[in-house]
Amino acid sequence: MNNSVLVTGGAGYIGSHVVQQLVARGERVVVIDNLSTGFRDAVRGAELVVGNVGDRALVARVLGRHRVDAVLHFAAHTVVPESLGDPLKYYGNNTCNTQSLLACCAEAGVERFIFSSTAAVYGVTENGMADEDTPTRPINPYGASKLMSETMLRDLCATGAMRHVTLRYFNVAGCDPLGRIGHSTPHSTLLIKVACEHAVGKRASVSVFGSDYDTPDGTGIRDYIHVEDLAAAHLQALDHLRDGGESLTLNCGYGHGYSVREVIDAVQRVDGHPLTVIELPRRAGDTPMLVAHSDRLKQRLDWRPRYDDLDVIVGTALLWERKLAREPATLADRA
C-alpha cells in the first residue's frame, strides 16, 4: 500500500478544498474530522474518519493503518470574538490537541507536517503590514493559541523529528469555482461569507464593526486570499518537504488589502442589488489593518495566485450561497 496524507479538519471549509486538490492529483488521503463545523459530503474522494484530533489512540491507529508520511493540520476553532469569551476552549482544542497530534506523529515517524496558522499571530503591526519576521504579538486567544502551536512545532522539528511548513493565513474567502464544495459553516463571522448570505436572503443585514479606524474610509482593511490559491500553497508546501526542503514559515496573502466598505461594494456590484448595512462599534480583538508581505511564499514555493481579483473571489462565494439557497440540504449530512 502506498503512503497516505492525513488531513485533520478535512471536512471543513479550507481543509475540504485542500483535500479536493490532493485527490485530483492522485494522492491517497485520509481525513480526521469531528464534524463539529465540517460536513461529511465535503470530503470528496478521501476516507473520512469521524473523531477528534486529541484522541491519541484514534490518531495512532490512523497513522499506522494508512502509512501516513505527511500530515496537514487544519482542525481548530477559528472565531476571534468567541476566543475572547471562551479562551480555554481555544487553548484546549487549538494548542493542547496539536501537542497530542505532534506526539503521535513523532511516535509514528511522520516526517512532514504542514500547519494551518494565522496572521492573527502578528496582532497590531506598526504599519498594517506583516512579513514573516514581523514580531508576533497576538491580541486575542485565537492568535495566541496558534502561536503556541507554531512554537511547539518549531521546537519539535529542531530535534530532527520532522520538517514542517507553517502557513500563516490572512483572510480566506471564496469557494471552489465549479461549485462542488464551499463555505458552509453555520453562523460564520467572515465578512464575504456574511455579505453573500445577506445577498441571497439568509441574513437580514451585514454589519460593519468599526467605522472610525485610521484608514482611508474608516473601516478595517484586510488581505483577502481565495481558498483555491491557499489550497494550492499547501500542495506546493508538501512538494517542498518531499523534495527535501527545509522547514519554513510563510505568509499566505496577496500583498494588498481591501476595506470592509470595498468588500461590501464588491458584493453589491457582483450581485447587482444593494445590501442593508448596519454600522456598529469596533469589536474587541480586531486590528485596523493587516496585509501580507508574501514574497517569501512566491520565492520559496514558486507559488503564483490564480484568483487575485476581489470580484472573482466574491463571485465564487456568491455562486455557493446561491446553490445553498436552491438546495438547502446540500452538505447538511453531519451524522
Grid cell 438547502 in the structure block, residue: 328
248-252 vs 289-292, strand pairing mode: unpaired
Task: For residue 142, indicate whether it is catalytic.
Answer: yes
126 phi and psi, to 5 degrees?
Answer: -60, -40
Residue 333 above 60 pLDDT?
no
Question: pLDDT tens-digit profile of 260-274?
Answer: 999 999 999 999 999
Residue 245 above 50 pLDDT?
yes
Of residues 21 and 3, more confidence is placed in: 21
Mean pLDDT of the 22-34 span? 98
Mean pLDDT of the 104-131 span? 96
Mean pLDDT of the 207-211 span? 96
Mean pLDDT of the 139-150 span? 97
Confidence band for 236, pLDDT divided at 50, 70 and 90: very high
> How far, in whole angstroms, is CA 69 from its chain's centroid?
22
Residue 239 above 50 pLDDT?
yes
Q: Rounded to an integer, what distance in angstroms lies between the CA atom of residue 30 and that of residue 53?
A: 13
Confidence band for 129, pLDDT divided at 50, 70 and 90: very high
The secondary structure element, H or E, covering residue 171 is: strand 171-173
Mean pLDDT of the 211-240 span? 97
Mean pLDDT of the 207-222 span? 96
Q: Rounded to an integer, what distance in angstroms lies between the CA atom of residue 56 and that of residue 53?
A: 7
Confidence band for 334, pLDDT divided at 50, 70 and 90: very low
| Domains (range + CATH), the chain | 4-173+224-252 (3.40.50.720), 191-222+255-298+307-326 (3.90.25.10)
Instruction: State the catalytic residue, choosing from 142, 254, 258, 307.
Output: 142
pLDDT of residue 335: 36
**Cα 295 to Cα 167, 222, 247, 329, distances in angstroms:** 13, 17, 17, 41
Mean pLDDT of the residues in the chain: 95
Question: pLDDT tens-digit profile of 281-332?
Answer: 998 888 899 999 999 999 999 999 999 999 999 999 999 999 999 986 654 4
Residue 248 three-state SS: strand
pLDDT of residue 330: 54
Q: Rounded to an integer, what distance in angstroms lies between the CA atom of residue 196 and that of residue 36?
A: 23
pLDDT of residue 329: 61
Question: pLDDT tens-digit profile of 62-87?
Answer: 999 999 999 999 999 998 889 999 99
Q: Rounded to an integer, what distance in angstroms lies between the CA atom of residue 27 and that of residue 17?
A: 14
The proportion of the chain whose per-residue pLDDT surpasses 90, expressed as a percent, equals: 92
β-pair partners for 118: 169
